[in-house]
């Protein structure tokens, strides 16, 4: 069995059902002591909730050995938020002290469209999990990060169809002295992104992540504009991975990358997969002295006299 998302491709060596099949645990991941917990809609109709999921996670005899917990659907992720799970982790922080990687919302569109996933308020999580090194959140509806202050977090990823300015501002003010990877799906205005290129420029100018090595600003319908913003940011001098993938990057953005990237020998990896560049521009980027992913070329569509290009993940 294979589980895939935009960040990970994880091969499962086995599976089992815990608590008489009510919660599905997919185990034995290729890396680390990791488990994914989920309910399906049938579980929800039988009365299962985010609260019972949290209880069953803690009752799992293998839970004390886990370093990574992955939360899939909590039954009706389109109609019920995950706040009870977040609150339960905070209330039982001693029991979660061994978990240094957390993914909340790992589900595909058949379970719940990404823009419909109801998230929650993470404000109390920062203090409750000081050992946390990696946090991945999928979905941005009702998402609140609060005042972010965390000494040990190294990776923050938000996967969504549209990232609200309020969330971006929390990240902009965040105190994350050891953050190495920041990956943000910007998305589109129809599904929650209520900012513009200047919003991202301000985020990159005013944030302070001295150890940042991987910067991903992707999945946008204004990817050319955002490429220009990122290429002018202070982080270009320190990162080794530049991720501008999954958006509407065209030859205009490709040309900016082609001209700017040679100024930064620190950058070793360029990811622009899923794009709208010409074959010629893609080949030019591949010729740069970096490891470049220019796969998944798309062609604009014309409809009613207008040209249409879509970001990879929206609804």
As a whole number, mean pLDDT of residues 142-163 equals: 98
Contact 246, 313 (CB under 8 A): yes
Distance CA 41, CA 251 (A): 44
DSSP 8-state code for residue 258: H
Does the structure show a pLDDT above 70 at 127?
A: yes
Distance CA 123, CA 126 (A): 7
* pLDDT for position 307: 87
**Burial letters for 172-190: b for 16+ Cβ neighbours within 10 Å, e otherwise?**
bebebeebbbbbbbbbbee
CA 90 vs CA 33, 50, 125, 130, 223: distances in Å: 21, 14, 6, 11, 37
Distance CA 157, CA 177 (A): 16
How far is C-alpha 291 from the chain's CA centre? 22
Does the structure show a pLDDT above 80 at 265?
A: yes
DSSP-derived 3-state class of residue 126: helix
Does the structure show a pLDDT above 80 at 10?
A: no
DSSP 8-state code for residue 250: -
Count of Cβ atoms closer than 10 Å to residue 278 Cβ: 14
* pLDDT for position 25: 38
As a whole number, mean pLDDT of residues 96-123 equals: 96
How far is C-alpha 267 from the chain's CA centre? 21
Q: Percentage of the chain surpassing pLDDT 90?
A: 87
DSSP 8-state code for residue 119: -
Q: Tell me: the pLDDT tens digits for 187-239?
A: 999 999 999 999 999 999 999 999 999 999 999 999 999 999 999 999 999 99
How far is C-alpha 16 from the chain's CA centre? 27
* pLDDT for position 32: 54
Beta-strand pair 14-18/291-293: unpaired
Whether the full predicted model's pTM is greater than 0.75, yes or no, is yes
Contact 78, 117 (CB under 8 A): yes
- Band of pLDDT at residue 3, cut at 50, 70 and 90: very low
How far is C-alpha 260 from the chain's CA centre? 26
Q: Tell me: the pLDDT tens digits for 38-93?
A: 999 899 999 999 999 999 999 999 999 999 999 999 999 999 999 999 999 999 99
DSSP-derived 3-state class of residue 5: coil
As a three-state string, the secondary structure of 55-80 is HHHHHCCCHHHCCEEEEEEECCCCCC
DSSP 3-state helix, strand, coil percentages of the chain (rounded to 5)?
A: 30, 25, 45
């Amino acid at each position: 069995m294979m589980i895939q998302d935009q960040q990970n491709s994880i091969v499962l060596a086995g599976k089992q059902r815990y608590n008489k099949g009510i919660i599905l645990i997919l185990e034995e991941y290729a890396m680390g002591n990791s488990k994914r917990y989920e309910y399906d809609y049938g579980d929800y109709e039988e009365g299962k909730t985010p609260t019972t999921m949290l209880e069953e996670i803690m009752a799992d005899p293998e839970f004390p050995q886990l370093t990574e917990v992955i939360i899939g659907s909590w039954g009706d992720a389109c109609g019920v938020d995950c706040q009870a799970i977040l609150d339960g982790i905070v209330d039982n922080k001693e029991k979660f002290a061994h978990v240094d990687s957390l993914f909340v919302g790992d589900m595909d569109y058949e379970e719940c469209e990404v823009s419909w996933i109801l998230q929650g308020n993470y404000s109390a999580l920062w203090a409750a999990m000081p050992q946390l090194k990696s946090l991945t959140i999928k979905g941005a509806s009702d998402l609140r990060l609060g005042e972010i202050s965390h000494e040990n977090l190294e990776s923050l990823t938000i996967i969504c169809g549209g990232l609200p300015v309020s969330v971006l501002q929390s990240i902009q003010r965040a105190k994350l002295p050891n953050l190495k990877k920041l990956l943000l799906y910007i998305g589109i205005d129809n599904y929650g992104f209520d900012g513009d290129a200047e919003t991202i420029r301000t985020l990159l100018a005013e944030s302070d992540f001295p150890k940042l090595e991987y910067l991903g600003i992707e999945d946008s319908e204004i990817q050319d504009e955002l490429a220009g913003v990122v290429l002018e940011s202070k982080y270009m001098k320190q990162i080794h991975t530049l991720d501008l993938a999954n958006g509407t990057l065209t030859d205009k953005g490709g040309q900016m990358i082609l001209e700017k990237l040679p100024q930064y020998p620190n950058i070793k990896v360029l990811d622009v997969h899923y794009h709208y560049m010409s074959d010629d521009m893609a080949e030019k980027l591949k010729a740069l002295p970096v490891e470049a992913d220019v796969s998944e070329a798309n062609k604009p569509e014309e409809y009613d006299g207008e040209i249409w290009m879509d970001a990879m993940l929206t609804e």
